[in-house]
Amino acid sequence: MKDSRKLFITLSGFLLLFIVGHANAEPRSGYEFVKAETREMQDDDFANPGLHAVDVGEELFNQKYKSSGKSCASCHGEKGERLNTKSIAKYPVYSSKTKKIISLQQRISSCRSRFAGKSLAVNHPDLLALETFVRNRAFAEVVNVKTDGAVADLLKKGETLYKTRFGLIDMSCYQCHVMYPGQMIRGQKISQGQANGFPAYRLGTGEITNLNQRITQCLNLMRAEPFPSDSDEIKLLELYLMSRSNGLKIETPAVRY
């Protein structure tokens, strides 16, 4: 009996060390967890299917709106060369004025609506293409989401959601992406769930997907009721997930499963 207890304590200790070790692991891009041919596809400007969304976004970026006669390019250049790429790498950000989290897509939507005269719904195809184009302008910039000040409390709320079990499967994001990265599930290798590649092209769905949509997809896989795309919960998760990628380079559009 004593030997069984010793064995249980020993195994429990190893499990704790395993979990703590993974929790404190250095951030690794999902690029490191995909197959070699997928990495080659992402790196090839002719083979990366996500670059189609970048091209569509560039067209929309240069499209003049009838209500103003101006386009996004009027301020930021035809290729977005006047965009501040280091600022792009800081999104999502917290607005002390509105007391809200602002995603990159929201920032684009707000700017666009001033010229277009109307706003678009969250994740509208045009907004998704614009988001992909703008994020791509900051390609290879280091993700640098603010984590101190007022944001610190919001990150704690995001972390709580990240560790909450959801759905019929009764799993959390934490269990997959912190406890089991590198393990296999459905023939695919589990990554750390880093967000530096989003918007990314997903081979599984055949479309460009931003972080907001990917969270919803994961909740669906958990057989859970997804949060509305403009909900506080989604925004908190986006903020926390992107902060986990601090120090990694932006890869938009990455290619993932």
The reply to whether 149 and 219 lie within a common domain is yes
Q: How far apart are CA 220 and CA 231, in angstroms?
A: 16
How many CB atoms sit inside 10 A of residue 44's CB? 11
Domain boundary among 121, 137, 153: 137
Task: Provide the domain limits for residue 208.
Answer: 27-45+143-256
> Residue 22 pLDDT > 50, yes or no?
yes
Q: Enter the pTM of the model.
A: 0.90
- 105 found inside a domain: yes
* Average pLDDT over the chain, rounded to an integer: 92
41 and 70 share a domain? no
Q: How does 228-250 read in b/e, with b if 16+ C-beta sit within 10 Å?
A: eeeeebbbbbbbbbbbbbbebbb
- Residue 155's alpha-carbon distances to 145, 238, 239, in angstroms, are 11, 10, 7
pLDDT at 6 over 60: no
- Confidence at residue 17, expressed as pLDDT on a 0 to 100 scale: 38
pLDDT attached to residue 139: 98
Q: Say if residue 177 is in the same domain as residue 231.
A: yes
Q: Is residue 19 part of a domain?
A: no
Determine what percent of the chain is predicted with pLDDT higher than 90. Answer: 88
Q: Note whether 70 and 167 are same-domain residues.
A: no
Is residue 253 a contact partner of residue 197, using CB atoms and an 8 Å limit? Answer: yes
pLDDT score at 3: 56
Same domain, 150 and 131: no
pLDDT value of residue 185: 82
218 is catalytic: yes
Measure the CA dihedral 247/253/254/256, to 10°. Answer: 140
Q: Are 136 and 54 in contact (CB under 8 A)?
A: yes
pLDDT in tens, 49-60: 999 999 999 999
Cβ-based burial of 92 (10 A; exposed 0-12, middle 13-18, buried ≥19): buried
- Whether residues 251 and 147 share a domain: the answer is yes
CATH number at residue 175: 1.10.760.10
Mean pLDDT, rounded, for 198-214: 97
Helix 232-244 / helix 211-221 crossing angle, nearest 10 deg: 110
Total domains, the chain? 2
- Are 88 and 143 a contacting pair, CB within 8 Å? no
Q: Which residues pair with 208 in a beta bridge?
A: 201
pLDDT in tens, 111-122: 999 999 889 999
Q: Is residue 3 part of a domain?
A: no
Cis preceding-peptide flag for 253 (omega within 30 of 0): yes
pLDDT tens readout for residues 158-171? 999 999 999 999 99
